[in-house]
Chains A and B, each alone.
Chain A
Amino acid sequence: MPSPPEPLLEERYDRLLEELRAARPYASSELRERVRALTVEPEPARRPTRVTRRPRALVPAFLVALLVGAAGVGVLVRDGGRESQDATFAERQPSQGLLDKSAQGSATAVPRGATPQGAQEAQARAALPPSRTRLQDYRAELRLRVPDLRRLSSATARAMRATRSLGGYVVSADLGAPTGGDGDSILVVRVPVGRVQEALVRFTALGTIVSQRIQIDDRQRTVERQSETIADLEGTVATLERALRDPSLTRFARGRLQLRLADARRSLAERRNARGATVQGARTARIALTLTTRAAGEAPVTEPEQAGYLERTLRDAVSVLGRLVAWLLYGLIVAAPFLVLGAAALVLERRRRRRSVERLLERA
C-alpha cells in the first residue's frame, strides 16, 4: 500500500509531488533484459544454515543449560568435597551404633522404642568414635524419655553435672516443666571430643532413648588449607619486611610496601584467628540433649531436624546459583568500563561513517 510522505507535505506540495511521480523514471528494455539474464542463471546454492542463523533463539537455551550445569556441578562438588553429611551416614551404617535397625538408610533422627538400660549403654560405647588422627566437627543429638517431671528436673541437673565433670560446658539450657502435663528440657553442651563417647554413655543412662543422631564433619582439610594460606602470608610478610630494610627505597615505594605489609599482617591475623576457631571447634563435641516426659510418638520439641537430602541439594543448588550470579555481577562490574568504552567507540564510529556518507552525498 502506497505510503504518502506526510499528509501535510502531500497537501502543501501537491502539484510538485504529482509532477515528480508522473515523470518517474523507468528501466530501459535493455536494462530489463540484463537483469532478466541474471535471473535465468540458477540461484546460488544455499549452504545449510542450521545453527548459524538466529543465534538469539539459542541464548535462553544456553542460559538454562549453563544454570543447570552450574547447579549440577555445585551438587557434585558438594557431594565430593563435603564429606560430612554422606560420610556421617556411611560411617554410621556398618557400626549401626545407636541406630535402630528399622531405620537403616535414614540420615535424620531415628525414633526407637524403649531399650534395656544395659543394652543402651553398650550401644552408646560402640557409637561412632571420633577420629584420633583427624580434626572433626562432632555433633550428636539425643532425645531421651523420662517417666515424670520430677525425674526430668533431676536428669537435667545430672546431665549438667556430667558435662562439667567431663571437662565440658553447658552452651544453653532450657527446662520447661509445667505443674501439670508434659515437660521438656533442652540442653546443648560441649564436651572434649576425646570424651564424647563417655558423655553419651552417661547421658543415655538418664532415660530411655527415643531418637539419636550423630554427625561428623571432617575439619582436617580446612585446617590444612588455612595453614597453607598462613604459611604463604608469613612468607609475604617476611619478604616485605626484608624489602623495607633496603635504605635505597624511595619514599613512594616505601609507602606502598608499608601499605602492603599492613594488609598482609591484617590478613595473617584474621587467618590465624580463623584457624584457631576451627581447631578449637574440633576439640569439643556438641551434644544436643533433649529430655522429655512425652511418649515416643508425640511431636518432639527439640531443635529443628537437619534438612533432608533433597532440601540440602536444593539449598546447595541455590547457593551455587547465587555464587554464579555474584561472579557474573563481578565480571560485569569489571567489564563495565570496557563495555562503556566499546559502546562509545561504536557510537562514534557509526556517527563518523554517517558523516562521511553525508559528505560523500553532498559532493556527489
Chain B
Amino acid sequence: MHVLATTIPQPARLGVSFASAAEAHLDDVHAYLAYLTGDRALAEDLTASTFEKALRLWRRFDPRRASAKTWLCQIARTTALDHFRSEERRRRREGTYALREGGEAAHSSFPEGLSPALEEAVRSLSAAEREVIALRVLLELDGPAAARLLGISESACSTRLSRALRHLEERMSNAITA
C-alpha cells in the first residue's frame, strides 16, 4: 500500500508547482482564450477563471499524461465553452438571440499588433478555426496534443488548421484587392 502511494504521480513530487506552471503558461492560456473568444477583455476574465479552476484541480494534474500547458488549455477551453453556453442561454432568455449580439463581440478589442487586414480576416474566422490557429501556431502545440485537446482526430485537426489558414489568406487577399 505504501509502495503504491509513493508511485502515484503528484505534480509537486515531480518538481512542478502550480505557481511555476501559472507563471510559465499564463501568456499561452491568455493568447489561446483571446483567439477563441475574439475579445481581449473577456479573455482576461476567462484566463483568471481558468487559473482559479486550475488551482482547485491542481492535485489531479498528472505531468505524465499531458504537459501543464495542454492541461491548462483544456481547462481554459472548458471555461470558455461554459461561458459561451451561459451567454447563449442569456441571449435566448432575453429574446435577442436572433439579433446576435455578435456585433458587440465583433467590435470588441481583438489582440493588438495585427495589421487591419489580418485582424479583420482573423475576426471573420469561426471560433473553431481561430482556436486551432492559436493552439498550433501561437502556442506551438504538436498535432497529437492539439487534437486531444480539441477532441478530434489528428488528421481532422490538421485539416482544420489547413482550412483555417486558407480562409485567412483568402480573406486577406480579398481585403487587399477591395
Is A3 in contact with B140, judged by CB distance below 8 angstroms?
Answer: yes
Is A364 in contact with B84, judged by CB distance below 8 angstroms?
Answer: yes
Question: Given A25-B35, A354-B151, list of 8 further CB < 8 A pairs?
Answer: A2-B140, A3-B140, A9-B165, A13-B165, A20-B133, A27-B26, A27-B47, A361-B127
Is A43 in contact with B18, judged by CB distance below 8 angstroms?
Answer: yes
Is A362 in contact with B126, judged by CB distance below 8 angstroms?
Answer: yes
Chain A positions within 8 Å of B122 at CB level: 20
**Distance to closest chain B CB from A189 (angstroms):** 62
Is B51 in contact with A35, judged by CB distance below 8 angstroms?
Answer: yes
Is A38 in contact with B30, judged by CB distance below 8 angstroms?
Answer: no
B138 within 8 A of A: yes
Is B26 in contact with A31, judged by CB distance below 8 angstroms?
Answer: yes
**Distance to closest chain A CB from B106 (angstroms):** 11
Question: At the interface with chain B, which of A50-58, A192-200, A245-253, A304-312?
Answer: A50-58
A340 within 8 A of B: no
A36-55 CB mask vs B (1 if < 8 Å, else 0) is: 10110101101111110110
Task: Choose one: A2, A16, A39; the contact of B55 (CB below 8 Å).
Answer: A39
**Distance to closest chain B CB from A3 (angstroms):** 4
Chain B positions within 8 Å of A94 at CB level: none
A298 within 8 A of B: no
**Distance to closest chain A CB from B85 (angstroms):** 7
* CB<8 Å pairs between A and B, sample of 12: A4-B140, A5-B161, A6-B161, A12-B165, A16-B165, A19-B114, A24-B113, A25-B113, A35-B48, A38-B22, A44-B58, A49-B5
Is A5 in contact with B137, judged by CB distance below 8 angstroms?
Answer: yes
Is A25 in contact with B52, judged by CB distance below 8 angstroms?
Answer: no
Chain B's interface size range is 35 or more
Beyond A27-B26, A27-B30, A364-B37, is A39–B140 a contact (Cβ under 8 Å)?
no
Is B22 in contact with A35, judged by CB distance below 8 angstroms?
Answer: yes
- CA distance in complex: A354, B151 (Å): 7
Within 8 A of A (CB), among B59-100: 59, 81, 84-85, 88
**Distance to closest chain B CB from A88 (angstroms):** 45
A357 within 8 A of B: yes
Within 8 A of A (CB), among B14-62: 17-19, 22-23, 26-27, 30-31, 34-37, 40, 43-44, 47-48, 51-52, 55-56, 58-59
- B: which residues have CB within 8 A of A? 1, 4-5, 7-8, 10, 12, 17-19, 22-23, 26-27, 30-31, 34-37, 40, 43-44, 47-48, 51-52, 55-56, 58-59, 81, 84-85, 88, 111-115, 118, 122, 126-128, 131, 133, 136-138, 140-143, 151-152, 158, 161-162, 165, 168-169, 172
The 3 closest A-B pairs by CB, nearest first: A23-B113, A25-B111, A39-B19
Q: Is the interface of B mostly helix, strand, loop or mixed?
A: helix
Is A51 in contact with B1, judged by CB distance below 8 angstroms?
Answer: yes
A363 within 8 A of B: yes
**Distance to closest chain A CB from B32 (angstroms):** 9
* Minimum CB distance partner of B34 in chain A: A25
Within 8 A of B (CB), among A314-364: 354, 357-358, 360-364
* Minimum CB distance partner of A354 in chain B: B151
Is B131 in contact with A361, judged by CB distance below 8 angstroms?
Answer: yes
Task: Choose one: B55, B127, B141; the contact of A43 (CB below 8 Å).
Answer: B55
**Distance to closest chain A CB from B65 (angstroms):** 11
Is B22 in contact with A360, judged by CB distance below 8 angstroms?
Answer: no
Chain B positions within 8 Å of A4 at CB level: 140
Is A38 in contact with B8, judged by CB distance below 8 angstroms?
Answer: no
Is A363 in contact with B88, judged by CB distance below 8 angstroms?
Answer: yes
**Distance to closest chain B CB from A65 (angstroms):** 15
Is B1 in contact with A38, judged by CB distance below 8 angstroms?
Answer: no
